[in-house]
């Protein structure tokens, strides 16, 4: 594996861990030249369904889009990277379990909201307030009341 810092091709695995559910392998690597450490993940390469956007466009599923939207909602919240990765894994398991060739972005958004609600209620409210495009303050109040109950 090529070092992302110096580009040297000689890197060695320093530590290997299998995720709790066994769905991926996390490896800590160290460069033989600059001696910096970095992390790699190994996952099975599977074909996810296409995502149908609200305007009818079809795009490929991208883990990075789900990850970045969750991380934005969780910004400055006490949630670990491992917890976020676990939530994304659960979303992807649902995607694969459907066995469909296409899935709506709305369905994925609902799954993201459920996972955020489990992880952190503030992040859930942040995501939902943008995702649901509230028109007035009463809709927002209802969401907050729902979380508090």
The model's confidence at residue 147, banded by pLDDT at 50, 70 and 90, is: confident
| DSSP 8-state class, residue 6 | T
E strands along 43-113, which residues? 50-52, 58-59, 102-104
Residue 3: predicted pLDDT: 95
C-alpha span between 28 and 55 (Å, rounded): 41
Buried/exposed code over 110-146 (b: 16+ C-beta within 10 A; e: otherwise): ebbbebbbebbebbbbbbbeebeeeeeeeeeeebeee
The dihedrals phi and psi of 60, each to the nearest 5 degrees, come to: -75, 145
- Residue 72 · residue 131 · CB < 8 Å: no
Query: Residue 52's pLDDT is what?
Result: 96
Tell me which of 17 and 133 has the higher pLDDT.
17
| Amino acid 70: pLDDT | 95
pLDDT (tens digit per residue) in 48-97: 999 999 999 999 999 999 999 999 999 999 999 999 999 999 999 999 99
Token pair for residue 88? 């994304």
Give just the sign of the alpha carbon dihedral 95, 96, 97, 98. Answer: positive
């Amino acid at each position: 594996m090529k070092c992302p810092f110096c580009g040297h091709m000689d890197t060695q695995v320093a530590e290997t861990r299998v995720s709790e559910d066994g769905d991926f392998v996390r490896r800590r690597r160290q460069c033989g030249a600059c001696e910096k450490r970095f992390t790699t993940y190994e996952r099975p390469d599977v074909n996810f369904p296409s995502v149908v956007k609200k305007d009818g466009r079809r795009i490929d599923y991208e883990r990075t889009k789900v990850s970045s939207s969750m991380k934005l909602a969780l910004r400055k919240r006490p949630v670990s990277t491992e917890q976020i990765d676990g939530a994304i894994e659960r979303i992807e398991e649902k995607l694969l379990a459907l066995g469909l060739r296409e899935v709506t972005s709305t369905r994925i958004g609902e799954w993201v909201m459920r996972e955020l609600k489990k992880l952190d209620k503030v992040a859930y409210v942040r995501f939902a307030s943008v995702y649901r495009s509230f028109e007035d303050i009463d809709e927002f109040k209802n969401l907050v009341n729902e979380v508090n109950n």
